[in-house]
Chains A and B, each alone.
Chain A
Amino acid sequence: MSKLLIEGVSRTFAGVGGGQPVQALQPVDLAVAANDFITILGPSGCGKSTLLRIVAGLEAPSTGRVLLDGRAVTRPGPDRGMVFQSYTLFPWLTVAENIGFGLREQGRPERERNEIVASYIDLVGLRGFENHWPKQLSGGMQQRTAIARALANDPEILLLDEPFGALDNQTRGLMQELLLGIWERRKKTVLFVTHDIEEAIFMASRVIVMSARPGRIKSDVPVDLPHPRYYTLKTSPEFSALKAQLTEDIRIEAMRTAQTQSAQA
């Protein structure tokens, strides 16, 4: 049985000021196996973030439903950990308190909490920064904390919405290896949204390519590159071949987006 089932999920936004309703997402079907690392790749505005937010329960689908372990998703919950593109650490909590936030909300005893928090601080390499405020951290460290915070709940699935989108290129590469390393060791079902082709291939066991708005799944590309993966993989011929294929796919969609935008202008 699939870990996550997305069945005919679509999303239509009401028109602004009595205008036409806008369909952000055409009905999408997707089955995700347990411990798969899925990246959702698409041009900006293709509804990939909307799809992820529906899985998280932060938005309701206009049609269709999302099943996690056979249970329908109706609202956000700790079984679906989420990492956002914007920095969403709680500024009034230290790094350790941020990571322990979900455990505390669920009323786990303090000693148990501290043990779990310490293990995740080690996992993302933030030893020595436990008592820092978020604003004292670099963007990469904030996102590492956010990943640890989402994982500390031991969610059934980890959802990431362009988590490294605001980071510089070098940091981004290191964060990709860090997250992939965690996944290789701990195994987790992951949905990772990105518009970066290289990132989509490097991270994934399966890339879902989405079309321009209104979004739908355009292609479903398995990535059979061996694990563990290092940055050197990005320059291998197999990687380049996949990249060339996906670049072509995405380019058509990006052009289509540009055309609809200029047609509307």
Chain B
Amino acid sequence: MLRPLYPVQPGTRTVLGITFFVLFVAFWAWITLGGHVNRIFLADPLSMLKDGWRLLVEDRFWLDILITIWRVFGGFVLASIVAVPIGIAMGAWKPVEAFLEPFVSFARYLPASAFIPLLILWAGIGELEKLLVIFVGSVFQIILIVAVKVGATRRDLVEAAYTLGATDNGIVKRVIMPANAPEIAETLRLVLGWAWTYVIVAELIGSSSGIGYMIINSQSRLATGQIIFGIIVIGLIGLLSDFAFKALNRWLYPWSLA
């Protein structure tokens, strides 16, 4: 019986979660190995694994993986270093917000991928261009979300700090910043997920290395097994970095846990 909002047992939850993966792969195997689709357009799971193994062992695909990871984190760290202080300043001081908020709101709707041709003109097709794509895609998002979180700092905590003798400066440093640190870290975790989509787009255009390059390269050779393997690798790395980020947040901010 399905009752609305009724919790599911942990064991059942795991089994159900795995079941979907099994069904998904089974369906994929059935339509490919069973000959229901053209092999040229969709590889079956076994040849995907074979292609993936060959990529890793013979084509040194792990170097592409490493370079993509470096681009994501490089661009993301740059964006965070710039965006977090600006976001905090906007949230804390309303004139700063009034000054920057309209522009940042506008800028965040500019699609990062549309900047790629321009960034190639400016920075060439080297690493700097890849980092800049991710930077452009992340920086305005981080600024806005951080500004909103900081702007919503609990007023009663700020008032309590004032009655304890805190100065304006002390309020920003020792109330607003620590109060919002876990939320800011959560924001960064979210935006890191988006950065993974920007990096692949950046690598599809004017690139000679990286997971995205391998994917676009495989397309011209109709190697769908390799493409699917590349996509799955991206998914797995994203999942792993997400877990790592969550664990880091839990370790840094034990007080915010329920």
Selected contact of A92 from candidates B156, B165, B181, CB within 8 Å = B181
Task: Tell whether, in the assembled complex, residue A90 and residue B179 are in contact, meaning their CB atoms are under 8 Å apart.
Answer: yes
Task: Tell whether, in the assembled complex, residue B160 and residue A78 are in contact, meaning their CB atoms are under 8 Å apart.
Answer: no
Task: Tell whether, in the assembled complex, residue B255 and residue A105 are in contact, meaning their CB atoms are under 8 Å apart.
Answer: no
Q: Which of A142-163 contact B (CB under 8 A)?
A: 146, 149-150, 153, 159
- Stretch of B26-34, B170-178, B213-221 at the chain-chain interface: B170-178
Number of interface residues of B (CB under 8 A): 22
* Chain A residues with CB below 8 A from B175, complex form: 90
* Chain A residues with CB below 8 A from B254, complex form: 133
A81 at the interface (CB under 8 A from B): yes
Selected contact of B163 from candidates A56, A106, A134, CB within 8 Å = A56
Please, how many angstroms separate the alpha-carbon atoms of A101 and B173 in the complex? 13
Known: A105-B170, A135-B255. A86 touches B162 (CB 8 A): no
Please, how many angstroms separate the alpha-carbon atoms of A84 and B161 in the complex? 12
Known: A90-B175, A105-B174. A58 touches B159 (CB 8 A): yes
Please, how many angstroms separate the alpha-carbon atoms of A210 and B21 in the complex? 67
Please, how many angstroms separate the alpha-carbon atoms of A151 and B179 in the complex? 23
B237-258 interface bits toward A, Cβ cutoff 8 Å, 1 = contact, 0 = none: 0000000000000000111101
A125 at the interface (CB under 8 A from B): no
Selected contact of B255 from candidates A56, A104, A133, CB within 8 Å = A133
Task: Tell whether, in the assembled complex, residue B166 and residue A105 are in contact, meaning their CB atoms are under 8 Å apart.
Answer: yes
Known: A105-B167, A149-B164, A153-B165. A92 touches B255 (CB 8 A): yes
Please, how many angstroms separate the alpha-carbon atoms of A120 and B162 in the complex? 20
A209 CB, nearest partner CB in chain B, Å: 26
Q: Which of B133-184 contact A (CB under 8 A)?
A: 156-157, 159-167, 170, 174-175, 178-179, 181
Number of interface residues of A (CB under 8 A): 30
* Chain A residues with CB below 8 A from B178, complex form: 90, 92
B255 CB, nearest partner CB in chain A, Å: 4
Known: A105-B170, A105-B174, A135-B255. A88 touches B157 (CB 8 A): yes
* Chain B residues with CB below 8 A from A77, complex form: 163, 165
Known: A84-B159, A90-B179. A78 touches B164 (CB 8 A): yes
Task: Tell whether, in the assembled complex, residue A82 and residue B163 are in contact, meaning their CB atoms are under 8 Å apart.
Answer: yes
A195 at the interface (CB under 8 A from B): no
Task: Tell whether, in the assembled complex, residue B160 and residue A88 are in contact, meaning their CB atoms are under 8 Å apart.
Answer: yes
Task: Tell whether, in the assembled complex, residue A150 and residue B163 are in contact, meaning their CB atoms are under 8 Å apart.
Answer: yes
Residue from B165, B256, B258 whose CB has the most chain A CB atoms within 10 Å: B165
Selected contact of A82 from candidates B160, B256, B258, CB within 8 Å = B160
Please, how many angstroms separate the alpha-carbon atoms of A86 and B175 in the complex? 17
Task: Tell whether, in the assembled complex, residue B164 and residue A102 are in contact, meaning their CB atoms are under 8 Å apart.
Answer: yes
Spell out A's residues near B (CB within 8 Å).
Answer: 56-58, 75-78, 80-82, 84, 86, 88, 90-93, 101-102, 104-106, 133-135, 146, 149-150, 153, 159
- Beyond A91-B256, A102-B164, 13 additional contacts (C-beta under 8 Å) are A57-B163, A78-B163, A84-B156, A90-B157, A91-B255, A93-B255, A101-B164, A101-B166, A102-B166, A105-B166, A105-B174, A134-B255, A149-B164
Closest 5 CB pairs between A and B? A78-B165, A102-B164, A76-B162, A82-B163, A88-B160
Q: What are 16 of the A-B contact pairs (CB < 8 Å)?
A: A57-B162, A75-B162, A76-B159, A77-B163, A78-B165, A80-B163, A81-B164, A88-B160, A90-B161, A93-B255, A102-B164, A106-B165, A135-B258, A146-B160, A153-B164, A153-B165
